[in-house]
């Protein structure tokens, strides 16, 4: 009984369902028929319109460029579109940044890197209704070739970088089409934090940006950041080359950990294993012992630190300096700080557009510095911190919060975002650091800070094999493991010192950004290995 009842119920249900299903199917069939009808009509329309479209050779999707021909056509740069080019007919290649159709005309914004210009396709003797429709349907971020006449405008176009001219399009061909659905909108990715929140405008979170880095890198902010970063590298190389430094390349696969044993990536190396270099220091020092006098290198550095902070990466670009000096390691400090000052000056004088561009999205105080660079001694720093109420031991290292506080105090008194802190306690520095000749508590070592964050740690290195052995023993380091290092100094070594900075960190701090991932093109951190 019970069973039957249940069965009966289900049968009824099934019947009801199938009735519903039938109706649904019917509806869908009707829909499909309508759609087909519509499509047929559209196709017919198109056919008929194509037939009477006088402008059909003036637009379209180009065949894929497979280097079929070598056109001798001059393309202009958007940044060169000024009133001086008014009424000229020009060709250019650009991305469609935005498009907006409005009756018989379509407004496009065409973009090349950080520059953009307004363009217009309007029904007239050059463009047909169909051509306007085609332009309006080009997906955002597609790449187009455009022939257009440059026109001066009465009213400045505030939303574009080229404010005094617009383009009247006469031909438009799609070179590469973007998919209609973009993973993120460029205008959302450059929106300053908090702006447009009331209107419910979206901002893009960092992971989405990094997952779709190719698109995120197209934004004006990213363009500016990485152009400035390239400037940092260029200025670093130029300044040091002018000072007589030699650029060297050092191996990244090494047999022993250079700074202690922790924090190194192990890689399999045929039948044994090797490590990824944490620092080119040993090789820089060997070059000094090999009489290269002053060297620098620019290359990747690896740190297997599982720190998920705003300023740690597992792979970053190291800008490293090492030099022999005559009598005092301050010769090294002066060379390094002057290099930094030349970089800051170069950025201040030649990268204002980029700095302003980044500031639009991430406002920050301009980077301030002194020439020559301010050098304070560790005891002075402790006195300043003491005055501010921080109690710490003479031979204690600075904690990150104390570094930040000290940065604020130094900024307040000297109004500089860059300074050197000299004469660190020997106890908190690595074994190869040269002790202070007058006070065994201190050492000939220094840190450099930008906006209160450490960017460089350096020192006069011990260049005497015997003293180096003593210092290593004092630090309870296995002498066997560093034998090759100590042996480098057995055949006569000049007194020398150096240091290294992280390119990403320097860019981040110069621009006053808050995350080092913003200044790393394809950042590597404990949680990100792609793209």
Partner 1 sequence: STLVPSCRISSIVGTVSTWHRGYRATINNGKVDPAVKALQARQDVIIRKLYELKAAAEGLAKIVTTPDADLDLTVGSSLALQSSSSTDLDTLLGKNHGALRDIVINANPSQPPLSLLVLHSLLCQRYRVLSTVHVHSSVSNVPPQLLSCLGAPHADSYARHLFQLGFTLIWKDVPKPQMKFSIQNMCPIEGEANVARFLYKLLAPYPSDPGAATLVDSWVDTAFFQLAKGSAKKRTAVLRALNSALGRNPWMAGPEFSLADVACYCCVLQSGSASAAAANVQRWIKSCENLGHFSPAKILTQ
What is the spatial distance between Cα 510 and Cα 418, in angstroms, rounded to a whole number?
10
Q: State yes or no: residue 375 binds partner 1 (CB under 8 A).
A: yes
102 is a contact residue toward partner 1 (CB under 8 A) = no
Which residues on neighbouring strands pair with residue 94, listed in sequence order? 144
Reading the block at residue 374, the tokens are 């301010």
| Out of 368, 441, 514, 528, the residue judged to bind partner 1 by CB under 8 A | 368
Is there binding between residue 413 and partner 1 (CB under 8 A)?
yes
Q: Which residues pair with 120 in a beta bridge?
A: 107, 168
Q: Is 416 in the site for partner 1 (CB under 8 A)?
A: yes
The interface with partner 1 within residues 385-404 (CB under 8 A) comprises: 386-388
d(CA 433, CA 498): 11
Q: Please pick, from the candidates 370, 428, 477, 486, the single residue that binds partner 1 as defined by CB under 8 A.
A: 370
Cβ at position 350, least distance to partner 1 in Å = 13
Give one DSSP letter per residue of 375-398, joined into a string.
EEEHHHHHHHHHHTT----TTPPP
| 213 has catalytic annotation | no
- Is residue 37 within the footprint of partner 1 (CB under 8 A)? no
User: Considering beta carbons, is residue 329 or 485 the nearer one to partner 1?
Assistant: 329
Establish if 330 lies at the interface with partner 1 (CB under 8 A). Answer: yes
The answer to the question of residue 369 lying near partner 1 (CB under 8 A) is: yes
b (16+ CB within 10 A) / e for 193-229: eeeeeeeeeebbeeeebbebbebbbbbbbbbbbbebb
User: Could you give the C-alpha distances from 398 to 229, 350, 392, 526, in angstroms and in order?
Assistant: 29, 35, 9, 25
What does the alpha-carbon distance between residue 410 and residue 355 come to, in Å, rounded to a whole number?
24
Does 415 participate in binding partner 1 (rule CB under 8 A)?
yes
409, 428, 465, 467: which one binds partner 1 (CB under 8 A): 409
Question: Are the CB atoms for 235 and 503 separated by under 8 Å?
Answer: no
Piece in contact with partner 1 (CB under 8 A), picked from 57-65, 68-76, 175-183, 374-382: 374-382
352 interacts with partner 1 by CB under 8 A: no
Q: Which stretch binds partner 1 (CB under 8 A): 59-67, 167-175, 248-256, 370-378?
A: 370-378
Q: Is 348 in the site for partner 1 (CB under 8 A)?
A: yes
Q: Among 517, 487, 482, which residue's Cα sits nearest to residue 502?
A: 517
| Shortest Å, Cβ 415 to partner 1 | 7
| Gap between the Cα atoms of 163 and 154, Å rounded | 10
3-class DSSP assignment, residue 512: coil
Residues designated catalytic: 303, 305, 311-312, 454, 457, 505
| Interaction site with partner 1 (CB under 8 A) | 328, 330, 344-345, 348, 366-372, 374-377, 379-380, 382-384, 386-388, 409, 412-416
């Amino acid at each position: 009984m019970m069973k039957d009842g249940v069965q009966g119920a289900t049968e009824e249900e099934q019947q009801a369902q199938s009735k519903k299903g039938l109706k649904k199917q019917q509806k869908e069939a009707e829909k499909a028929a309508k759609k087909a009808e519509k499509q047929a009509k559209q196709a017919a329309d198109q056919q008929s319109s194509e037939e009477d479209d006088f402008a059909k050779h003036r637009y379209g999707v180009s065949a894929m460029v497979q280097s079929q021909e070598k056109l001798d056509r001059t393309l202009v740069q958007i940044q060169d579109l000024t009133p001086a080019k008014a009424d000229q007919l020009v060709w250019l290649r650009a991305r469609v940044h935005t498009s907006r159709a409005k009756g018989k005309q379509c407004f496009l914004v065409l973009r090349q890197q950080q520059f953009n210009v307004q363009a217009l396709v309007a029904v007239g003797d050059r463009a047909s209704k169909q051509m306007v429709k085609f332009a309006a349907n080009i997906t955002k971020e597609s790449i187009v070739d455009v022939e257009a006449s440059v026109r001066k405008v009465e009213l400045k176009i505030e939303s574009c970088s080229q404010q005094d001219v617009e383009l009247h399009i006469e031909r438009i061909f799609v070179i590469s089409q973007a998919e209609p659905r973009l993973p993120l909108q460029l205008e959302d990715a450059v929106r300053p934090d908090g702006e447009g929140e009331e209107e419910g405008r979206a901002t893009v979170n960092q992971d989405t940006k990094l997952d779709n880095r190719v698109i995120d890198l197209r934004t004006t902010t990213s363009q500016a950041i990485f152009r400035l970063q390239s400037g940092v590298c260029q200025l670093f190389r130029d300044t040091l080359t002018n000072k007589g430094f030699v650029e060297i390349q050092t191996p990244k696969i090494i047999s022993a950990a250079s700074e202690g044993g922790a924090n190194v990536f192990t890689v399999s190396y045929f039948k044994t294993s090797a490590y990824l270099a944490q620092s080119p220091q040993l090789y820089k020092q060997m070059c000094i012992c090999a009489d290269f006098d002053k060297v620098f290198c620019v290359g990747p550095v690896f740190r297997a630190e599982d720190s998920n902070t705003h300023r740690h990466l597992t792979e970053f670009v190291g800008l490293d300096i090492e030099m022999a000096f005559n009598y005092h390691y301050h010769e090294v400090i002066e060379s390094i700080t002057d290099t930094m000052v030349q970089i800051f000056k170069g950025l201040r004088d030649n990268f204002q557009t980029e700095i302003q561009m980044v500031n639009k999205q991430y406002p920050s105080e301009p980077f301030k510095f002194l020439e020559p660079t301010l050098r304070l001694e560790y005891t002075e720093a402790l006195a300043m911190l003491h005055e501010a109420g921080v109690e710490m031991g003479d031979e204690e290292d600075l904690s990150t919060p104390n570094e930040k506080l000290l940065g604020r105090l130094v900024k307040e008194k000297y109004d500089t975002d860059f300074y050197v802190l000299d004469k660190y306690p020997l106890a908190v520095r690595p074994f190869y650091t040269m002790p202070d000749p007058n006070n065994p508590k201190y050492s000939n070592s220094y840190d450099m800070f930008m906006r209160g964050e450490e960017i460089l740690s350096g020192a006069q290195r011990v260049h005497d094999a015997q003293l180096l052995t003593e210092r290593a023993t004092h630090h309870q380091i296995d002498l066997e493991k560093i034998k090759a290092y100590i042996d480098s100094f057995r055949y006569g070594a000049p007194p020398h010192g150096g240091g290294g900075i992280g390119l990403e960190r320097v860019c981040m701090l110069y621009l006053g950004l808050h995350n080092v991932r913003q200044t790393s093109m394809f950042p590597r951190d404990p949680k990100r290995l792609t793209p």
